[in-house]
């Protein structure tokens, strides 16, 4: 194990020891917490473990090697063609769950840029009375989204509705206009000039990572469409790059149809997502409201 951890550390992998243990547990078919109680590798298991360590040292994502990614209370299937959900996004999902509980007995929740379905499926599991709509356009990502949605429905969670659409379409979800209680979005938001880690550059879909030159190419139309989809008093949460802690709240404030614009930080203290409420009167203010910084 120590040799595998050293190899991963030398390759630049963070938390190398923990990842070596996760790979070992995966090969042995035991939880990582029970790894010390497991029998040693058999010859074939050792070969498999060494192969996986070599692939991880080449910076293939750990989640691609194990085929799953943890997200809140879920284990989601992931692999080539879909963005691997990050722990930071769990904060946005949790915010959405909390707002959904406050919204209505049967809230309507929309997840834009759904990818693997992480946010939508977490909401559906934790808010079983909610109607949850997941929107995705990528054929590759849709295969993972539908697989995860089917798996969770088979496990007893409320089924989510999968809609194939481009979130920048000005007529997106026209039948839901003015009816949505909670709208959540983890869009592509990395500015094109940013150098991303090898796991991202070589494996996450480009269209799920980069949001144009300034990283806001998808966020701008999402803000506009969210104002049309939300009911008066409905709420919006958008994840963004840590360089957008001012830019995204300013976009929301400048739109004029939102109040209570708030910036939230992740557990590392970085700006991570912005939230806002649709004006109760449904109108557009002459000037954008002020915004504030909130906690994670």
186 is in an annotated binding site: yes
3-state helix, strand, coil in the chain (%, to 5): 40, 20, 40
136 is in an annotated binding site: yes
Residue 137: both structure tokens together: 């356009």
Angstrom distance (rounded) from CA 68 to CA 193: 30
148 is in an annotated binding site: no
* Coil, helix or strand at residue 239: strand
Angstrom distance (rounded) from CA 205 to CA 201: 8
Angstrom distance (rounded) from CA 164 to CA 184: 16
Angstrom distance (rounded) from CA 265 to CA 256: 23
* Coil, helix or strand at residue 182: strand
221 is in an annotated binding site: no
Distance of CA 133 to the CA centre of its chain: 15
Angstrom distance (rounded) from CA 286 to CA 293: 23
The per-residue b/e assignment along 208-235, b for 16 or more CB within 10 angstroms, e otherwise, is: bbbbeebbbbbbbbbbebbbbbbbeebb
Residues annotated in a binding site for S-adenosyl-L-methionine: 136, 186
Annotated binding site for substrate: 186-189
The annotation places the binding site at 136, 186-189
């Amino acid at each position: 194990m120590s040799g595998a951890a050293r190899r991963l550390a030398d390759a630049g992998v963070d938390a190398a020891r923990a990842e070596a243990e996760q790979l070992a547990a995966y090969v042995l078919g035991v939880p990582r917490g029970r790894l010390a109680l497991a029998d040693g590798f058999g010859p074939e298991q050792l070969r498999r473990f060494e192969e996986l360590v070599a692939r991880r040292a080449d910076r293939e994502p750990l989640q691609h090697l194990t085929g799953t990614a943890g997200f809140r209370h879920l284990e989601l299937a992931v692999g080539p063609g879909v963005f691997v959900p990050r722990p930071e996004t769990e904060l946005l999902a949790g915010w959405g769950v909390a707002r959904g509980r406050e919204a209505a007995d049967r809230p309507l929740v929309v997840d834009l840029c759904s990818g693997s379905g992480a946010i939508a499926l977490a909401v559906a599991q934790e808010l079983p009375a909610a109607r949850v709509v997941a929107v995705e356009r990528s054929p590759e990502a849709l295969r993972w989204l539908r697989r995860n949605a089917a798996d969770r429905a088979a496990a007893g969670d409320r089924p989510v509705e999968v809609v194939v659409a481009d979130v920048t379409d000005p007529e997106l979800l026209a039948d839901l206009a003015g009816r949505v209680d909670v709208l959540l979005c983890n869009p592509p938001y990395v500015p094109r000039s940013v150098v991303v880690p090898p796991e991202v550059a070589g494996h996450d879909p480009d269209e799920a990572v980069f949001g144009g030159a300034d990283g806001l190419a998808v966020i701008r139309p999402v803000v506009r469409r969210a104002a049309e989809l939300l009911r008066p008093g409905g709420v919006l949460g958008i994840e963004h790059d840590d360089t957008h802690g001012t830019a995204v709240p300013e976009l929301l404030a400048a739109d004029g149809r939102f109040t209570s614009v708030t910036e939230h930080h992740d557990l590392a203290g970085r700006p991570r997502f912005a939230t806002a409420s649709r004006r109760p009167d449904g109108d557009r203010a002459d000037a954008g409201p002020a915004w504030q910084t909130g906690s994670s």
